[in-house]
Every structure is written in structure tokens, then in C-alpha cells.
Amino acid sequence: MSQTSTAAIHAVTEAELALNARNGQRRKILFAALGGLVAVAAISYGAYYGLYASHFIVTDNAYAAVEIAQVTPSVGGTVREVRVSDTQAVKKGDVLVVIDDTDASLVLAQAEAEYGRAVRRVRGFQANDEGLAAQVAARSAEEQRAAAQLAAAESDFERARIDLKRREALAGSGSVSGEELTRARNAFDSAQAGLDVAKAGAAQALANHAAAVGSRSVNATLIDQSTLDTNPEVALARARRDQARVDLERTVVRAPVDGVVAKRTVQVGQRIQAGSPLLVVVPVAKIHVDANYKEVQLQDVQVGQPVELHADLYGDKVTYKGRVAGFSGGTGAAFAAIPAQNASGNWIKVVQRLPVRIEIDPADLAAHPLQVGLSMHASIDTRSN
């Protein structure tokens, strides 16, 4: 190999070494810069999480819910009309179902007749009380007259007795004739009979007065301390009439709240019983969110804190404002049909979820309606602690 070739090879080698050295230096600088960027990003994220993101408790295990209104009839009967169908919007007081009112109308007519009869009967008791009061007064006067007659009879008897005694005393001396003595004895007997009659009359008058007072007392118990309106018999008949009237009104089943009809099972011609489920009204304007947070997330969550909500139905383009309304009384596992038995030997700890109730801003809900069961995304801002 010539010296020229050897020199060329050495020149190429030195150039490669210089290039490799420069590339190595660049890589070191690049890795150092990349490490710096990673460190800056880590520090920035740590600062962001510590100062901001850590205050937001997020879950997508959340669903729209509401207290539905179960519509049941208060009276039984045959369904004559069904005026709504599933998915139909209704207002509070709208007619949903009409039950045949023939039986209820007859019961009301009977109750009204019973009420009228009770009113007339009590009026009769009141009028009878006035008549019995007059009878008591009359019997009292008769008793006084009998007492006066008895006193007169006793006076006549005493006078006849004294006259007879005197004449009997004089009869031995011949001062009184036998005829006069006979008249005295007859007068005495007559006075005796008159006294017995007077005593019997006084006793009868007393008994009549007592009977009149008793009759009035019996009648008084039916109207004592009451007027026509407050009399128990009238009040009972009126209550039965009012109940019959209410039952007649209840043959028309109305919507208890504003909402949407769902789960309609009632049909025309169906014979239904009081309390049997007919349909459900879902008050969509009062929907809330049940967010199932892990128990380890709830340390700083309090009632009243603001919440940002998104529905899968609308995506991120629609944001609902809400607030924490309360916490469930137990976890989902505690209320499960077959609750976990953690006392067994095969126990494995599982992080539990606690339902948190979140109320939605009515204006947001009106602008973007929700339905029960829709999936939601909830983020609670705990900075207001």
C-alpha cells in the first residue's frame, strides 16, 4: 500500500472519529434536554395536580335517576277510558284513566238519602224534646193539683173524724140522735174514701211526672250538647255521604305530577282493584344524578359543593351544573339482595362505592332533558371546603 493511500485512510478515520464525537455530544445534549423537559413536565403536572386537579373528584359510574310516581286507583271498578300512552307528556291534574262510575253514583245517592233521613230524624228528636218538656210541665201541674186535693181530703177526713168522735161521746147521754150519729159515720166513711182516692191520685200524678221526666231524659241523650250539624247521627251520615262523593270523584284518575308516562299496563274494559298499579309518571324535570364514588374518594366531599356533569347522550358539548345534595345511608353492597359476608375465611377487601346524590340546575335540565338511567360523568369541586 502506498503512503498516499495510508494517509487517506488515516484522514477518513480521523474524520469519522470527529463526527462520532460530535454526534455523541449532540446525543448527550439531547438526552439532557429531554430529561429536563420530562422533569419540567413532571414538576408541572405535580404542581397542577396538587394545586388544582386533586380538588376534583371524578367518576363515570353515575346515572340519571328520579323518584317516579306510581299511579294506582283509590277505588276499584271497570276501566272505561285510558287517555294516555307510553312516552306521552302529561301535566299534574291531567286525566289518565276513567273508571266506570255507575256503582259509585248509586252509593252516593244512597248515602245522600241516608243523610237526609238522619237530618229529619234528629229534627224529630228536637221537636219531641219540646213536646216532652210540655208534658213534664203538665205532669208537674197535675202533681201539684193532686197534692192540693190530697190536702183537702185529709182536712175533710180529719173534720169528719172529729165530728164522729164528738157525736159518739154524746150519744150515751142522749144528746145526739141515732140519725145524726149515722150521718156522722157516713160522712166519716165518705171522707175516708175521699182521702184514699186523693192519695191514689197523688201517687199517680207523681208517677206520671216521673215518667215524663224519664222520657225527656231518654230523648235528651239523643240531642244532648249538639246542634243539628254536630249531632253524631247526622255527622256519621254526612261523613258517609262525603266519602261516597270522594269515591265518585276518584273514578277519574289524574296525573299526580308533571312528567312522562311509562310502564302503562292498564287497558279499557279491565277490572281493576284499589291499589293495583296502572302506570308510572316519570317527573323528568326533577331528575337528579346518583354518582357511585369509591369510598377513598369521599374524604373531602361535602354537601353543597359544586359539580360539573356530562351526559353520554350529549357528550362533552353539553355541561350541566349541579351540587352535592346528600349521601346514601349505605353502600351498594350493603343494600344488595345478597350482601357480602366478610366474616368468612376467604375474605378479600374490595373498595366499596357510596352513592352520592347530585341535584342538577333546573335551567340546564330544561334546556337539555334527560331520561332515567342515562350514563353520566360527574366531577365534584372540593375547593369549597
Mean of per-residue pLDDT scores for the chain? 83
**Angle, alpha carbons 222-225-230 (nearest 5°):** 80
Model confidence pLDDT, tens digit, residues 230-240: 788 888 999 99
CATH tag, 103-246: 1.10.287.620
Looking at the predicted structure, is the pLDDT value of residue 21 above 80?
no
Nearest-angstrom CA–CA distance, 148 and 145: 5
CATH tag, 70-100+250-280: 2.40.50.100
| Grid coordinates belonging to 148 | 192540693
Using CB atoms within 10 A of its CB, is residue 365 exposed (0-12), middle (13-18) or buried (19+)? buried
pLDDT class of 14 with cuts at 50, 70, 90 = low
Looking at the predicted structure, is the pLDDT value of residue 53 above 60?
no
Lowest model confidence (mean pLDDT) among 301-305, 309-313, 343-347: 343-347
Query: What is the third-level CATH fold of 55-68+283-381?
Result: Elongation Factor Tu (Ef-tu); domain 3 (2.40.30)
Nearest-angstrom CA–CA distance, 312 and 286: 19
For 241-258, what is the mean pLDDT?
95
User: Please, which residues bridge with residue 259 across strands?
Assistant: 90
Of 29-38, 170-179, 293-302, highest mean pLDDT: 293-302
| Grid coordinates belonging to 165 | 168522735
For the chain, give every domain's residue range: 1-33, 55-68+283-381, 70-100+250-280, 103-246
Model confidence pLDDT, tens digit, residues 166-193: 766 666 666 666 677 677 778 777 878 8
Nearest-angstrom CA–CA distance, 307 and 359: 9
Instruction: Look up the pTM and report it.
Output: 0.64
Quick one: pLDDT at residue 156? 78
